[in-house]
Structure 1
Amino acid sequence: MAIKTNQMPFKESFSEFYTKVKSSLDDGTFAKLTLAKTIGNSELMNIYVRPIMDDALLKLELKFKFQQEEIIEIHTIENAFPRLLEFINNPFLSAILFTTEFDLTYKLNKKRAVSLVEQFPTFGNANEVLLEYLATKK
């Protein structure tokens, strides 16, 4: 388990974190990405991210989970970054990248200092069957 604390502004540090997301998509270890731990009582509770095929291209489905509804957006891998960045620090204080090699948690504390915590992987597979299964559980 590695803990790395970073005094970079959260936008720069989230960019570093998202590089790991893209790497896991490239090397086939990506399982899922979740934005969680909101500030206060937010209507938006989570954002779940998973890869999908759209027009024969690998893209990302962003599922915005609100208290009363869900909204789905489809983005290219590059365009998903600025869309997700809008929600870091408002309302989300954490993002968790689940891969078959490790889980990486991006956290902002009350002073908005960033920490990255690497842990043992939650998921052993990143195959299509698992992704389909996870989609049905959301």
Structure 2
Amino acid sequence: MPYQDVFVLFWEQVKQSIQEGRFAKLTMAKTIGKPDLKNIFVRPLSSEGGFKVLVKLRYQSRETEDEENELTLEEAFVFLKSHLRTSFTSVLLFTTTKDVTFKINKKGAGRITENSPTFRDVIQPKPDLE
């Protein structure tokens, strides 16, 4: 199945884990080539205006500062999807009940696997009040 279709199924699990309060974090890993962008992390944010996530871009070089953005879930989906197969080939969803991994193979097919949970608790960072 094309990775885009599988990623939509994977994202349904992300949304369900959020609705059930089990979402701990999400990580994009397995970079393609040697890019400066090392990882993308997504964590839940406690927000008064509805559910938001903190998206953090971590770079290889120490000269480049990490970037952080507060996004809605839909904005995060579009943002992460744009980095699939251009920068990253895997996305890991960590929940309190299971870890779910989305991977893209060399032929462009996606697949989802599940493992035992890494996290027991959900930790929500407070948004910056600047």
State the TM-score bracket (shorter-chain normalisation).
0.7 to 0.9
Gap regions ≥5 residues in structure 1: 1-6, 133-138
- 1:73 to partner: Cα distance: 1.3
Question: 1:25 aligned to 1, 18, 39, which one?
Answer: 18
* Equivalent in the alignment of 2:128: none
Counterpart amino acid of residue 82 in structure 1: V
Gap regions ≥5 residues in structure 2: 126-130
Partner secondary structure for residue 51 of structure 2: strand
Question: 2:80 aligned to 79, 84, 88, which one?
Answer: 84
Question: What is the distance in 2 between the residues matched to 1:131 and 1:57?
Answer: 14
- 1:66 to partner: Cα distance: 1.2
Q: TM-score, normalised by structure 2?
A: 0.88
- 1:122 to partner: Cα distance: 0.7
Question: 2:56 aligned to 63, 87, 93, which one?
Answer: 63
Moved over 4 A (4+): none
Question: What is the distance in 2 between the residues matched to 1:35 and 1:24?
Answer: 17
Q: Does 1:13 align with 2:6?
A: yes
Partner secondary structure for residue 101 of structure 1: coil
Q: Does 1:75 align with 2:68?
A: no
Q: Could you say what the CA RMSD is over the residues aligned between the two structures, in angstroms?
A: 1.3
Question: What is the distance in 2 between the residues matched to 1:118 and 1:77?
Answer: 22
Count of aligned pairs: 122
* Equivalent in the alignment of 1:112: 108
- 1:81 to partner: Cα distance: 0.6
Structure 1's 131 and 54: CA in aligned 2 closer, same or farther, altered over 3 A? closer
- 1:55 to partner: Cα distance: 4.0
* Equivalent in the alignment of 2:90: 94
Q: TM-score, normalised by structure 1?
A: 0.83
Deviations 1:31-67 (A, max 9, x none): 1000000111011110000111334422011101112
Counterpart amino acid of residue 111 in structure 2: S
Question: What is the distance in 1 between the residues matched to 2:117 and 2:48?
Answer: 31
Higher helix proportion, which one? 1
- 1:22 to partner: Cα distance: 0.7
